[in-house]
Amino acid sequence: MRISILTIFPDFVRVVKEYGVVSQAVENGILEIEIFNLRDFAKDKHKTVDDYPYGGGPGMVMKPAPFFEFFKFYNETYGKPYVVLTSPQGDVLNNSIARELASKDHLLIICGRYEGIDERVMKFVDREISIGDYVLTGGELPAMVIVDVVSRFVPGVVDEESVKNDSFYNDLLDHPHYTRPRVIEDMRVPEVLISGNHEEVELWRRKESLKKTMLKRPDLFMKHQFDEIDKRALLSLFRELMADAK
C-alpha cells in the first residue's frame, strides 16, 4: 500500500514511519510512505502557501494554487490516489472507516493548517476525515493517526490474531491484560489466566469485555453481534450477579 502525506511540516510527520510496526512494514516493503512539502509547489520566491481570507475575518487561508500544482505533478507521476483531507468537518474516524481506507492501495492525506484550505481544493478530495470534535493547530497529527490505524489493517503489518482481539474489532472493549510477576504489592493475576485452561481463559476475557462494554460503552454493546461465547459469558455473569445478590 502506498500512503502519501502532503504538508508544510514534513519533518513533523516523518516520524510516523520511523518507529514500531509501521517502520518495519516500510522496511518489509508492505507499506510505502512518502511525504511531500506543499511549499515545493508554491511558485513565488517566498514559497507562499497562505493568504488573507476573502470576506475578511481572523487568520489566514491556504492558497489553492500550490495544491493545483501539486496534483498536476502527483497524478502524472504516481496516478490518482484516494484523497483524504483531515478536517473537523470530516466523518469522525473509527475502526470501520480505517478498515475501509486500508482497502485502498493508494492513499494521499492532505494536512490543513491556518483557518483551513481554499474550498476550490475540494475538487481533488474524495473524503474528509476528522479524528474528533475539537480544533487542532494542523492536520498533521490526524494524518499520523490515520497512517497508524490504517497500517494495522494492512495484511502483514500486525499479526491477524492481534487485530481480531482489538477493542472495537467486534464492537467490544478489550479485556484486561496481565504479565509477570504473578503478584505485585499483594495484587494477584486472576487465577484463571494461569490455569492453562484456554476455554476458561477465553470465557473470562469475553466476560470482562462484555462487562466493561456494558458499563462504559452501551452504544457499542447495542451494536455488538453476539456469538456462542457471548451467550455463555452473559449466562455466567448473570449467575455470578444472582449469587452476589443472595
CB 129, CB 93: distance < 8 Å = yes
Q: Active-site residue 152, yes or no?
A: yes
Which DSSP string corresponds to 40-103? Answer: GG--STT---EEPPTT--SS-EE-HHHHHHHHHHHHHHH---EEEEEEEEEEEP-HHHHHHHHT
130 binds ligand 4FV (CB under 6 A): yes
134 binds ligand 4FV (CB under 6 A): yes
Position among 112, 150, 206, 233 found at the interface with ligand 4FV (CB under 6 A): 112
125 binds ligand 4FV (CB under 6 A): no
Q: Active-site residue 218, yes or no?
A: no
How many CA atoms within 13 Å lie on the side-chain side of 57? 9
What residue has cell string 448473570? Answer: 238
CB 215, CB 161: distance < 8 Å = no
79 is annotated as contributing to ligand binding: no
- The nearest distance, CB 100 to ligand 4FV, in angstroms, is 17
131 is annotated as contributing to ligand binding: yes
Q: Active-site residue 88, yes or no?
A: yes
6 is annotated as contributing to ligand binding: no
81 binds ligand 4FV (CB under 6 A): no
CB 75, CB 82: distance < 8 Å = no
Q: Active-site residue 142, yes or no?
A: no
Instruction: Compute and round to an integer the Cα radius of gyration of the chain.
Output: 23
Position among 136, 201, 220, 237 found at the interface with ligand 4FV (CB under 6 A): 136
- Sole window of 31-39, 80-88, 150-158, 191-199 interacting with ligand 4FV (rule: CB under 6 A): 80-88
57 is annotated as contributing to ligand binding: no
Helix, strand, coil in percent for the chain, rounding step 5: 45, 20, 35
Q: Which residues sit in the known binding site? A: 112, 131-136
Binding site for ligand 4FV (CB under 6 A): 86-88, 112-114, 116, 130-132, 134-136, 138-139, 142
The catalytic residue positions are: 88, 115, 152, 166
Q: Which residues sit in the known binding site for S-adenosyl-L-methionine? A: 112, 131-136
